[in-house]
Amino acid sequence: MSHNTFGHLFRVTTWGESHGPAIGAVIDGCPPGLRFTLRDLQDQLDRRRPGSSRFVTQRREPDEVRVLSGVLPAEDDPEVMVATGTPIALQIENVDQRSKDYGEIARQYRPGHADYAYDVKYGLRDHRGGGRSSARETAMRVAAGALAAKVVPGLKVRGAIVKIGEKSIDRANWDWSVVDREDNPFFTPDAASIPVFETYLDAVRMEHDSVGAVIEVIAENVPAGLGAPLYGKLDAEIAAGLMSINAVKGVEIGDGFAAAALKGTENADEMRMGEDGRPVFAANHAGGVLGGISTGAPIVARFAVKPTSSILTPRRSIDRDGREVDVVTKGRHDPCVGIRAVPIGEAMVACAIADHYLRHRGQTGRI
Amino acid sequence: MSHNTFGHLFRVTTWGESHGPAIGAVIDGCPPGLRFTLRDLQDQLDRRRPGSSRFVTQRREPDEVRVLSGVLPAEDDPEVMVATGTPIALQIENVDQRSKDYGEIARQYRPGHADYAYDVKYGLRDHRGGGRSSARETAMRVAAGALAAKVVPGLKVRGAIVKIGEKSIDRANWDWSVVDREDNPFFTPDAASIPVFETYLDAVRMEHDSVGAVIEVIAENVPAGLGAPLYGKLDAEIAAGLMSINAVKGVEIGDGFAAAALKGTENADEMRMGEDGRPVFAANHAGGVLGGISTGAPIVARFAVKPTSSILTPRRSIDRDGREVDVVTKGRHDPCVGIRAVPIGEAMVACAIADHYLRHRGQTGRI
Amino acid sequence: MSHNTFGHLFRVTTWGESHGPAIGAVIDGCPPGLRFTLRDLQDQLDRRRPGSSRFVTQRREPDEVRVLSGVLPAEDDPEVMVATGTPIALQIENVDQRSKDYGEIARQYRPGHADYAYDVKYGLRDHRGGGRSSARETAMRVAAGALAAKVVPGLKVRGAIVKIGEKSIDRANWDWSVVDREDNPFFTPDAASIPVFETYLDAVRMEHDSVGAVIEVIAENVPAGLGAPLYGKLDAEIAAGLMSINAVKGVEIGDGFAAAALKGTENADEMRMGEDGRPVFAANHAGGVLGGISTGAPIVARFAVKPTSSILTPRRSIDRDGREVDVVTKGRHDPCVGIRAVPIGEAMVACAIADHYLRHRGQTGRI
Amino acid sequence: MSHNTFGHLFRVTTWGESHGPAIGAVIDGCPPGLRFTLRDLQDQLDRRRPGSSRFVTQRREPDEVRVLSGVLPAEDDPEVMVATGTPIALQIENVDQRSKDYGEIARQYRPGHADYAYDVKYGLRDHRGGGRSSARETAMRVAAGALAAKVVPGLKVRGAIVKIGEKSIDRANWDWSVVDREDNPFFTPDAASIPVFETYLDAVRMEHDSVGAVIEVIAENVPAGLGAPLYGKLDAEIAAGLMSINAVKGVEIGDGFAAAALKGTENADEMRMGEDGRPVFAANHAGGVLGGISTGAPIVARFAVKPTSSILTPRRSIDRDGREVDVVTKGRHDPCVGIRAVPIGEAMVACAIADHYLRHRGQTGRI
């Protein structure tokens, strides 16, 4: 029910604004005995972290996560934390807040932002850095996703950029090892796209503009049987999770919108029996989910992120008093927020799968 | 939490399979005093009903809905029902079941269907007519949506087909009055597209094949302020609702995936003060939702439906015993299930908005 | 979240009023493969049924339950239904409604009833037979409880009256076989109490009065480990379930209020290792729950039912227009509604345990 | 759904153990614009705080609460915080942990504690200070309750001890001003009971024993109409909230168990029209709730706390390896944990009422 919680049995509740003292998450329902290290969380947080290239915001956030509850040190290795089954509280201090950057726009409604909507809804708003809608909140999703991924044995969730603005990758070049390469600031799986994106985004930045992006997330080793036929469809919850990320405007599973143009004969993923006694699908138009339930094939989701709304080019708007104003959003902003959305998308997919794994086990006992 | 419930304060729980004695819904949380007639529900159900043209399944379902609880007759008009605030139970008998049609495929896994996934999940499945995944269930969504639309004063939710297979409408011809015209079996808003779709779908049917579709739903008169910044984003819940419909593989809000290719300067919906003292947006790339909260602009959602999986052309698959088989799905099936999805999409959007209307009122008291 | 739903993974949603066409329940989350017969449900319903003695209301309700969804006939026995894992819809027609009995009090606020509270809350109310608060709704709880009891292997939930008005049973005479004896209209486990209760209740009826009761429910074979430390304490959810029954005003676990007067040395249930390798508790002051989690000892709950508010003796009240009136509730009412609450209490305890069984399995995988 | 969350629209999620670095709460759904000060929270926390007399544990916990999110400073008074409508994170550092006190009983199952149940449930447990079941968690309830009480205009929730062990107060002496008097370490409303309780509890302590208590909570100015007829009965949720407190074994509303012995003619709270146009109840046997809905009369709830299980007198038990042991719980423990439960009970009642206030407003719009 909560506006700030994701999941049902593996439940992630986040709190905090970019300009308060800290942000945090409470993860309730983690299976007892789950083992993890701070490093597991930190590695994912570091991937999402601002300041790692000139294509993302220059805010400096060390993003050091602390675990405040719900764990015991493992008897065999004090670096390892063991979940006790009670709520795991995660927390990150906010150390680089500079709230003065935002001062002048406290009364203006920035186009493309939720400023006006917040004011109507709440009668007031935290204008500092986007308040609750700040991209900062997504750090907690990433940390939670790192735990979620461990809930399902063998689960592997990886994401990549497939499009920035008008530039798409060449799927023929897809190479997962490229995604996290040091010289790749884009999470692209296509090495050839790196210089293309660099040139393109440099131009966008020069124009004081921004662009959107499309991200693809693929989850492998998802057991068949997770999900439910209707309102709890695995893909419906993945869609909700991805759409709950800031600035996301579209979500697809498998062939997604392209499926609408397919014939039924093309779209049917034919089955044969595999050598290991499990079915093999001749194709994966369905993206690993049929009737809301995982089939054992890789789960494929894509989501679209709109261009960063905070830009240095003036846009026309109004202020709280209804006066017409020109708005320029200073501060340190990503020319393409979609880039940093890659680990966030992975995290939401991992959380949805982990939640359904526990729900499936609860109802059926079949895992 | 439930796998079969949608919404939080305006809660719709559905039950039933296509081949059982009946299907039904329980609507909990309806505001007391809400007035409606059976006709209000029936009109929407009739729009969704199979058998209304050669392009949808020839199953005959009168779909007469009964209201079994939660209402009193209005003192001023006995045709009018008044919600008491307690659960409203809706029910439709299944009268045309012919379960023998499905007999031969009880042990086969139909490609593109959830048969295999059901078997893995539940250890058994109701093979008759898709069981719980039957399109029949959507009748209850439509009835619930008719109530939901009345919860928000002035709310107007309308949908239309914008694409069938490879054929798109011409948006320049958009005319809402065309959508429900007698001679329009497609819910298309473009009169010129009717003969095009007819010719196209006739060919598809002749080939024993099927195609997908894209539907657009527009909600007008949505008060600004509904939704929440993150996991309860209005668009996240609309996405979940639409993705929870059978065969839906993609969802967009506003410009959706196209937004990824826009510049920030283009995508920012500039604001000016309107004559009625409310802001006017120069464009609606955002689709009426910013930061998860409605802005007062029309809400625009689109969703993609995959081609009907039940086709007369044989596809290769396996059966429960792992034997390789060729599957042909006899029975009476839509060549494009997307057509009938139009009123279903409207219903899910109406339910998501009604739910957030009550949640907003609960938290803020500002309506 | 719903006002009309109990449970989280084993979810029971009920609907219906005593004077509508039917009442029903939707049970969502039932483990697939669960086998049951109509007889299993009907046997419990018959225990709760009005009209079985002169001490309960003379309304005639055959209470024949139908199962409308969520099951398949077992291949080995067509009498046996097998849960498919999708929602199980249960329904009972209302056949003896006589709504005219209630006509004259439509505008009066009956003391001890919720009439006034309903009017303030909803702005209107269904005055016929108590509307949603009718004891009739409890039939669906009993049917749901019959399913719940089957979810936990070996679970045995039994209830008994321990007090009617001022008359208590003698616990030294406790004999479970007495409870369902033909000549025992009271669910008392103490055969000696039967004539005492008869004489006592006859006098109460003659005086046009009513009395309350205390019921004890004991659940055996509850696995250790169900529940959670705080807001999901097994006893908190049992308490919520029992208190959600009409007219219940108090709930206890184990020694309950008497525990407040005990010393810590007395109240500690000392442990020894049993022959089967499981701990044995020297006493069960805790009622089978410590820290919110079951210990394997029998779960003991008690609840207090207030006297029937519908009595033939006039009470002073007001009507909707604020006029002072004397209210007499005609109609057919139980002199002690607590008697029929025995199977209802059993059902709520079974539902709470079944729900926690699935939740425990989901989170921990340890069952 | 969460095991660690209370409420639906006004949602309190707590986390933390007594021996971790901190404890905290996330309050989601707080109405935007709600004004409060740190003092409001701290005053309640100070009432619950250990170390304030020799009758409660000598642990020293300054219990200084911090507000980490969800508020803005008021423009007119920087001491005042204004809720923004987003999650309010509260946190208290743990400063007096001394975990060595607990070392020797890490492998023993303390009678009356949840040690064994935890081990069976989770396969491991945090033995330090009761882990998640520590009374320390209740500090967050008290802080949340202080906010909850502000959600409902005019709401006044007060609690008092009515019984400690075998000693009851004299209700004829009830004086609310006595409860928080400096020289009253018992929250008793009966000044004459203070020396009686002192003598009694000193003797209990000398004997290395403990006793239970009964607490009564009264909520005034609760608007009529809050609650729902069945599973969302206001009293069912109050019961769940009170029963979710550590060591609580029984809950009553109004006359509670005593109502079972009343006649219907006695128990009916007769109504007359008051001078302010609102009904006046001649008595309040119902405790302010009829049919699950508040009537406007004061809400009266009572709950029983069992004797402290941590005592210095040895009790027989077993350890993790099944060996028989004698357990003595050293450390600093309350001879009567019930005393400190008074503000906790107030908090849970306030939270349940605030939650229903928002739910009622959401569904009906009638506040």
Average pLDDT along chain D: 93
Query: Are the beta carbons of D87 and A13 separated by less than 8 Å?
Result: yes
Token pair in block for residue B185: 């079996």
Residue contact D32–B364, C-beta within 8 A: yes
Nearest CA in chain C to A2: C1
Q: Is the pLDDT of residue A145 over 80?
A: yes
Q: How far apart are CA B192 and CA B190, in angstroms?
A: 5
Q: Tell me whether B136 touches chain A (CB under 8 Å).
A: no
Where is average pLDDT lowest: A174-178, B173-177, C69-73, D132-136?
D132-136
Interval B113-162: pLDDT, tens: 999 999 999 998 887 777 898 888 999 999 999 999 999 999 999 999 99
Who among C8, C33, C86 is closest to B1 (CB)?
Answer: C8
Q: Do D249 and C239 touch (CB under 8 A)?
A: no
The domain limits of chain D are 5-364
D4 contacts A32? CB cut-off 8 A: no
ipTM above 0.90, yes or no: yes
- Which residues have a Cβ under 8 Å from the Cβ of D170 and sit 6 or more positions away? D190, D192, D193
Helices A138-151 and A341-364 sit at what angle, rounded to 10 degrees? 40
Contact in structure between D86 and D69 (CB atoms under 8 Å): yes
Round to whole Å and give the CA distance between B143 and B30. 13
Q: Does D85 touch chain B (CB under 8 A)?
A: yes
* C82, closest residue in chain B (CA to CA): B124
Transcribe C47-113 into DSSP letters. Answer: HH-TTSSTTS--------EEE-SSEEE-SS-TTEEEE-SS-EEEEEE-----GGGGGGGTTB--TTS
Report C:293-312 residues touching D (Cβ under 8 A). Answer: 293-296, 304-309, 311
Does C256 contact chain D (CB < 8 Å)?
yes
CA separation for the pair C112, D286 (Å, rounded): 7
> Residues of A with CB below 8 A from B239's CB?
239-240, 243, 251
Q: Which of D3, D23, D131 sits opposite A84 (nearest CB)?
A: D131
Contact C273, C280 (CB under 8 A): yes
For residue C42 the two structure tokens come to: 């009907």
- Count Cβ atoms below 10 Å from residue D154 Cβ, excluding itself: 8
Q: Does D348 touch chain C (CB under 8 A)?
A: no
Chain D touched by C134 (CB under 8 Å): no
**How far does the CA of residue B80 sit from the closest CA of chain A (Å)?**
30
| Other chains touching A, judged by 3 or more CB pairs under 8 Å | B, C, D
Q: What is the pLDDT along chain C (367 residues), one digit of tens a residue?
A: 589 999 999 999 999 998 899 999 999 999 999 999 999 999 999 988 765 677 766 666 678 999 999 999 999 999 999 999 999 999 999 986 655 555 667 889 999 999 999 999 999 888 777 789 888 899 999 999 999 999 999 999 999 999 999 999 999 999 999 999 999 999 999 999 999 999 999 999 999 999 999 999 999 999 999 999 999 999 999 999 999 999 999 999 999 999 999 999 999 999 999 988 889 999 999 999 999 999 999 999 999 999 999 898 999 999 999 999 999 877 667 899 999 999 999 999 999 999 999 999 999 999 8
Q: Search chain D and give the residue with CA nearest B10.
A: D363
Nearest-Cα distance to chain A for B158, in Å, is: 20
Per CATH, the homologous superfamily of domain B5-364 is Chorismate synthase AroC (3.60.150.10)
C365 in D contact zone (CB under 8 Å): no
**Residue A317 φ/ψ, nearest 5 degrees:** -160, -165
What is the number of CB-based contacts under 8 A between chain A and chain B? 385
How far does the CA of residue B147 sit from the closest CA of chain D (Å)? 14
Write down the pLDDT at residue B361: 98
CB–CB contact B9 D229 (8 Å): no
CB contact under 8 A, D211 and C264: yes
Angle, to 10 degrees, between the axis of helix D234-243 and the axis of helix D341-364?
A: 150
Nearest C-alpha of chain B: how many angstroms from D291? 13
Contact of C253 with chain D, judged by CB distance below 8 Å, is answered with yes
In contact, A138 and B315? CB cutoff 8 Å: no
pLDDT class for D19, splitting at 50, 70, 90? Answer: confident
Residues 6+ apart with CB under 8 A from C103: none
Which positions in chain A touch D115 (Cβ < 8 Å)? none
Cβ atoms C303, C345 nearer than 8 A = yes
Of A230, A308, A311, the CB nearest to B132: A230
C361 in reach of chain D (CB within 8 A): no
Residue range A174-178: mean pLDDT, rounded: 98
